[in-house]
Chains A and B, each alone.
Chain A
Amino acid sequence: MKLYRDLTIRQKHIVWAWAFLALPVVFYTVIRFYPTGNAILISFQDWNLLGSRTWTGLDNYIKLWNDPVFWQVFRNTFVYLLLGTPVSLVLSFIIAYHLDKLRFMHGFLRMLYFLPFMTSAVAMAWVWRWFYQPVPIGLFNNFLASIGIPQIEFLNSTTNALPSILAPAVWAGLGFQIIIFMAGLRAIPKSYYEAARIDGVSTWTVLWEITLPLLKPTIVFIVVFSSIGFLRIFDHVFNMTTNNPGGPLNSTKPLVLMIYQSAFDSFDMGYAAAQTVVLFLVLLVVSLIQLRLLRDR
């Protein structure tokens, strides 16, 4: 106590600041940094969860580099990102742009768009999985069959399965992005539009020269947010392909699912940790690029 009494007021402030910071600091160290460091350590080891850990150097990374499934999975992950992000961005902007101008049943429509975002991803994935089944139980295929169009193999196909799984994932995230876009649109001062109308410019020019440039922070936020989401896609894929996770023939498997399988089906913790490190680096790079874009503003 005497020690504390001898401190200057400034030093006491610092002591108190650290006392209050102690909880989050301990939390981050124990819950975030320690496991992260441990994962990086395990990625250089061989461990099946039961036995002892043995040091294997870069073996896991070499195995990863030579694993054709990993490259397929890597490609799938980026297909989810490169297809999912622009599609959901454009769709949500179009919907928000028009919804913003609409007065009739505005709240109800907005609720309808937001509803999927609040629904459990697992339940939604299973319902869509049944929609996609072949006859006699699949809703879409039953409809096609009833009007005489041949069935489409939605999930049981190496080419159609990924877009089929991506569609409900995009739909589920749409509501959130629409709300953010609408908030962004509302934040643009009315006076700009009034000035434009007095000058008599076309709707397109207003969109290109006023709305979109002023929406840039919103767009950047949504791009960052949804890219991270699509890079980490798991629940939709896993639940729509539980019998054959990431199938058929790995055509829908994202990186997170491969990590899960290496760790908890094959109990190859070292290999799973190496994949986690790769995912971490990918997320880091993508986030850094997007952060740079933010700063350019």
Chain B
Amino acid sequence: MGFKHLKAMALATATSTAALLASAANAVEIEYWQYFFDARVQAMEQLIENFQAANPDITVKMTHFPYADYRTKVAAAIPAGEGPDVVQLFYGWLNDYVEAELIQPLPADAFPASMVDEEFFPMVQAMKEGDQYWALPTAVRSLALFYNERLLEEAGVEPPTTLDETVEAARAMTKVDGAGNVTQVGITAGMTAQDHHWWREVLVRQFGGEPYTDDYRTVAYNSDAGVEALKFYVGMAEGDEPITAFGFMDEPQAAFKAGRAGMHIDGSFRIGSLNNTRGLNWGVSELPATSDGTRSNYSSYWVNAITTKAEGEKYDAAVKFMQYVTSDEAMQIWLDVVGELPAKPSVGMTEANANNEVFGPFIRGLAYANTTKFANESGQRQLMVEMVERITLQDMDPAESLAIAAEAEQKLLNEYYAD
């Protein structure tokens, strides 16, 4: 019972006994869980403070855990009736949470599907089943092309906008020593980082293919377009004049941070750590388009959902809290504090945000972004990693390696969707 409750109760006593009873009954505490990441916790503290000021009869208690324990703790707590009323989860986990009956759908009167469809960026529709939503994000992430301004200038090239220009610019920035070892890459490469998203959702589409069909249950990238996309990707590190090297400086983002890479494709979550890198002069632009202007992007997000534990007045309070954390105000706070992008065009596409020189390219990318529905993200990424390794380490034909990856991924999806 905080001061605000006491005040509310005192006020109620002054007016009438009935009001006192109503107010006492309304004094409800709900629990919110998320994983620990400093900026996210700070942003949520601000949101909770604002929410409580607007709803004096509701208290929100936030609990956070290290990321490594998060999933296990949630799974153990909710069935025991212990855990959160509102919980944060990765969009890729939704199916598991629904099946395990850990979360309940958002009420149709407060979150009508037609409203959400209209107000949010389209990739959020991955959270929809029938005409109800299971969960909604406060913020989303997308990919963009980071570039090192000093290296661009040194090579005398402009930030590229198309794939051809990207290859040209990368070639101009690549440095090789006397023995032919690459000592500076034009663009970073590595399926272990964000490149598997870039290849899957962007390159395959740009070469005229579809990565998946049937709501991400059927692998479709084993096509001519897929082979071309793979040849393009692996080809960057091959030939007489490679513009990249796999495994260069251990990790792509390390190479970019160290100023040894001209360009680097990464998510909006990288902005913070690049800002803290001294002496690195970087800029960012939208992912390169094809020469005919085809664009695509990959976006992912964390969502909030109401758990099955919330009932009665706690449920009502949880709904109110969900409404607040998906409001325009909450999204702007999240952008300012965490640096993650608003999930609604009404916030993201404001003049100030969409033209922001850092956030702008990411936000503009959201308009044409796709969200892969993963069954097992790390497992599916691993298949992409191995697809490239078979070509680079074992000289396998790209088409053959692609076919193996497609078959393995289809098997993984079939197993996941079996029941």
Does B51 have its Cβ within 8 Å of any Cβ on chain A? no
Does B1 have its Cβ within 8 Å of any Cβ on chain A? no
Among A129, A135, A151, A157, residue most surrounded by chain B Cβ atoms (within 10 Å): A135
Instruction: Select which of A50, A156, A244, A261 is within 8 A of B75 by beta carbon.
Output: A50
- Given A50-B75, A134-B248, A136-B183, A247-B96 contact (CB < 8 Å): no
Query: Within the assembled complex, what's the spacing in Å between the Cα atoms of A250 and B393?
Result: 13
The count of residues in chain B whose C-beta lies closer than 8 Å to any C-beta of chain A is 35
The count of residues in chain A whose C-beta lies closer than 8 Å to any C-beta of chain B is 30
Query: Within the assembled complex, what's the spacing in Å between the Cα atoms of A158 and B392?
Result: 11
Please report which residues of chain A, range 44-65, place their CB below 8 angstroms from some CB of chain B when the two chains form the complex.
48-52
B138 to chain A, nearest CB (A): 23
Q: Which of chain A's residues have a CB closer than 8 A to the CB of B382?
A: 244
> When A and B form their complex, what is the total count of cross-chain residue pairs whose Cβ atoms lie within 8 Å?
80
Contact B393 A249 (CB under 8 A): yes
Contact A156 B246 (CB under 8 A): yes
Contact A130 B181 (CB under 8 A): no
A262 (CB) vs chain B CBs: closest residue: B379
Query: Within the assembled complex, what's the spacing in Å between the Cα atoms of A148 and B179?
Result: 7
Query: Within the assembled complex, what's the spacing in Å between the Cα atoms of A265 and B378?
Result: 6
Q: Which of chain B's residues have a CB closer than 8 A to the CB of A249?
A: 386, 389-390, 393-394
Instruction: Select which of B71, B250, B394 is within 8 A of A49 by beta carbon.
Output: B71
Q: Which of chain A's residues have a CB closer than 8 A to the CB of B386?
A: 247-250
Does A227 have its Cβ within 8 Å of any Cβ on chain B? no
- Given A134-B247, A148-B179, A51-B96 contact (CB < 8 Å): yes
Chain A 226-268 near chain B by CB (<8 Å), digits 1 or 0: 0000000000000000011001111000000000010001110
Contact A151 B389 (CB under 8 A): no
Please report which residues of chain B, range 374-398, place their CB below 8 angstroms from some CB of chain A when the two chains form the complex.
376, 378-379, 382, 385-386, 389-390, 393-394
- Given A135-B181, A243-B192, A249-B394, A130-B389 contact (CB < 8 Å): no
A63 (CB) vs chain B CBs: closest residue: B415
Does B215 have its Cβ within 8 Å of any Cβ on chain A? no
Pick from B97-105, B335-343, B360-368 the stretch touching chain A.
B97-105
- Given A49-B72, A145-B179, A136-B393 contact (CB < 8 Å): no
Does B190 have its Cβ within 8 Å of any Cβ on chain A? yes
Q: Which of chain A's residues have a CB closer than 8 A to the CB of B357?
A: none
Contact B102 A50 (CB under 8 A): yes
Contact B102 A248 (CB under 8 A): no
Does A137 have its Cβ within 8 Å of any Cβ on chain B? yes
Please report which residues of chain A, range 119-155, place their CB below 8 angstroms from some CB of chain B when the two chains form the complex.
129-130, 133-137, 145, 148, 150-151, 155
Does B157 have its Cβ within 8 Å of any Cβ on chain A? no
Q: Which of chain A's residues have a CB closer than 8 A to the CB of B393?
A: 156-158, 248-249
B209 to chain A, nearest CB (A): 25
- Given A50-B96, A50-B100, A51-B96, A137-B249 contact (CB < 8 Å): yes
Q: Which of chain A's residues have a CB closer than 8 A to the CB of B389?
A: 247-249
Contact B99 A51 (CB under 8 A): yes
Contact B75 A265 (CB under 8 A): no
A29 to chain B, nearest CB (A): 22
Contact A133 B96 (CB under 8 A): no
Q: Which of chain A's residues have a CB closer than 8 A to the CB of B407?
A: none
Contact A133 B192 (CB under 8 A): no
Query: Within the assembled complex, what's the spacing in Å between the Cα atoms of A261 and B75?
Result: 18
Query: Within the assembled complex, what's the spacing in Å between the Cα atoms of A267 and B382?
Result: 15
Q: Which of chain A's residues have a CB closer than 8 A to the CB of B193?
A: 243
A265 (CB) vs chain B CBs: closest residue: B378
Q: Which of chain B's residues have a CB closer than 8 A to the CB of A156?
A: 246-247, 393
Q: Which of chain B's residues have a CB closer than 8 A to the CB of A49?
A: 71-72, 75
Instruction: Select which of B99, B179, B390 is within 8 A of A150 by beta carbon.
Output: B179
A162 to chain B, nearest CB (A): 14
A159 (CB) vs chain B CBs: closest residue: B393
- Given A51-B96, A265-B376, A266-B376, A130-B250 contact (CB < 8 Å): yes
Residues on B lying within 8 angstroms of A by beta carbon are 71-72, 75, 96-97, 99-100, 102, 177, 179, 181-184, 190, 192-193, 245-251, 260, 376, 378-379, 382, 385-386, 389-390, 393-394
Residues on A lying within 8 angstroms of B by beta carbon are 48-52, 129-130, 133-137, 145, 148, 150-151, 155-158, 243-244, 247-250, 261, 265-267
List 5 tightest A-B contacts by C-beta distance, closest first: A50-B100, A243-B192, A265-B378, A51-B100, A50-B75
22 pairs, CB–CB < 8 Å, chain A vs chain B? A48-B96, A48-B100, A49-B75, A50-B71, A50-B75, A51-B99, A129-B250, A135-B181, A136-B181, A136-B249, A137-B249, A137-B250, A151-B179, A151-B181, A155-B247, A156-B246, A243-B250, A243-B251, A244-B382, A244-B385, A247-B385, A265-B379
